[in-house]
Amino acid sequence: MNTLATGKRPWYNRPHNINLAKDICNGKRLVIPEDTPKFYAELMQQCWDNDPDKRPTASYLNEKLGEWIILICDDPNPSKISDENSVAEEKKRAFVFLK
């Protein structure tokens, strides 16, 4: 999910080794970009819960993401989710253009 939000591989700037694994187990988390839609950022944080039993299931993720895709793509009247997504996409397009 973070890759979709940032366009970068998670922990791209660190070796993927035991030290990274320990840091993650000790609560270290990736930075979520400010322009990430709130609903998406909250779901991402749920996926990072230290307790695996508190993380969303794959079925739940599939259901939620499917619902959001429908809201974003098929809603003739933009909703809050559509608006947040549009703002994030515009910022990302501007960032890619500047590179």
Mean per-residue pLDDT of the chain: 84
Q: Rounded to the nearest 10 degrees, how much is the dihedral formed by the CA atoms of 70, 63, 48, 36? A: 0
pLDDT confidence of residue 25: 93
pLDDT confidence of residue 13: 95
pLDDT confidence of residue 23: 97
Is the pLDDT confidence value at 91 over 90? no
The pLDDT confidence band at residue 73, using thresholds 50, 70 and 90, is confident
Range of the domain at 85: 1-98
pLDDT confidence of residue 83: 62
Is the pLDDT confidence value at 26 over 60? yes
Q: Rounded to the nearest 10 degrees, how much is the dihedral formed by the CA atoms of 81, 84, 87, 93? A: -70
Q: What is the mean pLDDT of residues 82-95?
A: 60
pLDDT confidence of residue 58: 96
Number of domains comprising the chain = 1
Could you read off the pLDDT of 28-61 as tens digits, one per residue?
999 999 989 898 999 999 999 999 999 999 999 9
